[in-house]
Homo-oligomer: A and B are copies of this chain.
Amino acid sequence: LIFSSLSDDELTELSTIVSEHSLNSEQYLFWEGDYADYFYIVAQGKVKVLKHATTGKEFIIAFFSPGEMFGEVAAFEKKPYPASAQAVSASVVFRIQREDFISFLNKHPQVVLRIIGILSERLRVAQSRLRDLAAERVEQRLAGILLMLTTKLGPTLPFTRQEIADMTGTTTETAIRVISQLKDRRIIKSSRGQIEIIDEPNLRRLTEDSH
């Protein structure tokens, strides 16, 4: 996605510095605090980026699907990864060494602009979520997460209650209670490991309610 502005020649150049890497389900690519040697793009499967809290709970910053990049924040500077990355299912990722990536960027300013755009977007999202976590109730936050996910992935969401909880910043039990309510109100359907949005307008209304 970030390389879509490149010519065939440039893509060939890119292919010389990219390597492929397979992952088993649950396998970690890197841990928060690791030295950041690679920059990643998902090829197949699904990868989550998360942070662990002192209480042992984890907070999911984002899921990444094929074509999306991650680990980029650390790759620009010689700093450790600020979060961990774990494969949700068996996956394949492309990776580029830090130095190769940086020298490639120096030759391709339009890619740099694309990356600034992505960083900006992520910063916007993170700051909106901060406001929501600080001020909104669990139901509204969870509705917001579901909306964001449908916008990105369509009406059928392949996530467990626990994953939804870890994205919303609540517990599995509370997520289940809220999701059950949404099911009773015919806003969503759900089965094991899956949620289907059937009434998006009403879901959106929930996020906008002032109380």
Contacts and interface: CB of A to CB of B under 8 A. Distances in A.
Given A73-B124, A77-B120, A112-B112, A169 B134 contact: yes
A183 interface: no
B133 A130 contact: yes
A1 interface: no
A130 B129 contact: yes
A115 B54 CA distance: 31
A147 to B, nearest CB: 14
Given A77-B117, A115-B116, A116-B76, A55 B135 contact: yes
A134 B145 CA distance: 14
A167 to B, nearest CB: 9
Question: What DSSP secondary structure best describes chain A's contact surface?
Answer: helix
Contact of A51 (B56, B76, B128, B209): B128
A103 to B, nearest CB: 13
* Size bracket, chain A contacts: 35 or more
Nearest to A49: B127
Interface of A: 51-57, 59, 61, 73-74, 76-77, 82-83, 106, 109, 112-113, 115-117, 119-120, 122-124, 126-136, 140, 169-170, 208-211
11 contacts: A51-B128, A56-B210, A57-B134, A59-B134, A83-B127, A126-B126, A126-B130, A129-B130, A130-B133, A133-B134, A134-B169
